Copies of this chain bind each other. A is one copy, B any other.
């Protein structure tokens, strides 16, 4: 791969199955770019990672004649995160109470940290250095839960639609708050204010209502709150467990959604008594793709990797330029569900 660079794409499982045209088109791009440079016989080999790289390996081969060169998911995520945190000026930021603050990362003080990748499920990876990491935890309550349960409860047609619904909702309609039980003073003796959620969806128990009687917006909001809170809590407990000061949240679940980031931030703040902060990544959904690309360097394909990194670093001072190059992909309707991450596009 040379010339204009390489292209990262994340393909949704549904898209893989239903949109062979789209995939074929992508395959033509892949084949075209590789045509001149790749050794004979490697014409249709593409680096890929994520569960889908394994699950759809045969599909790609049979339908498109593409061989997926599978790269381990965890190492790809870590390599991608490490690269972004070092190469991109405005990559990591905090987000709380509506305020976004970029964080400057000292390269000499990057490790160790906890990387929390929120896809269909959640992986929590302790990163100690370049290619030094361990997946220490995770949870099955992730983006797939939000979307799956959300779809069942609201009949939404997409993840973004569900997020949009949540934006308009009020979680206090369905969640049982401490104040609902203990009154306006909450349970202050144990540090629970009246607005703390005592039981997610707890009000639905005693109200004489059916699902159809609730606004889908409120249901979506409570669901998002429940799942985001939970991720924040488990992430913090693991950071604490390993003495990790920084927690970076990545993956396509967050996708820059303010309420999600705010909820995760508040959860981490709450459980840590203000000692820890949640950090988000600008290119949250592309960690694996970038990391898979980084693996070319390990294989001795240093020219391609170096070219990309130099090119990328040289524009690192202009975060908007970098963002533009990848951001147009960030906002498409793609999900981290059996995704195939293929190439990295850095347009000049």
Using CB atoms and an 8 Å cutoff, list the residues of chain A in contact with chain B.
Answer: 13-14, 51-52, 54-55, 72-74, 119-121, 135, 137, 139-145, 147-149, 151-153, 155, 174-176, 180-183, 187, 189-191, 196-206, 210-211, 214, 219, 226, 229-230, 233-234, 237-238, 240-241, 271, 335, 337-338
Contacts and interface: CB of A to CB of B under 8 A. Distances in A.
B230 A144 contact: no
B183 A54 contact: yes
Given A142-B200, A206-B337, A237-B238, 5 more contacts: A144-B198, A144-B202, A145-B202, A181-B338, A234-B237
A72 B337 CA distance: 46
Contact of A148 (B119, B149, B204, B237): B204
Nearest to A182: B54
Given A145-B226, A205-B148, A214-B152, A140 B181 contact: no
- This chain: copies in complex: 2
A205 B145 CA distance: 8
Nearest to A119: B199
Contacts of A203: 148
A224 to B, nearest CB: 13
16 contacts: A14-B206, A51-B198, A54-B183, A120-B176, A120-B198, A120-B202, A140-B196, A144-B199, A144-B205, A147-B204, A148-B203, A152-B210, A152-B211, A230-B230, A234-B234, A241-B241
A185 to B, nearest CB: 9
A52 B181 contact: yes
A180 B56 CA distance: 11
B74 A190 contact: yes
A204 B152 contact: yes
A237 B148 CA distance: 27
A45 to B, nearest CB: 20
Contacts of A152: 153, 201, 204, 210-211, 214, 219
Contacts of A153: 152-153, 211
Nearest to A183: B54
Contacts of A335: 205
Given A204-B148, A204-B149, A121 B233 contact: no
A148 B201 contact: yes
B121 A205 contact: no
Contact of A182 (B55, B139, B202, B337): B55
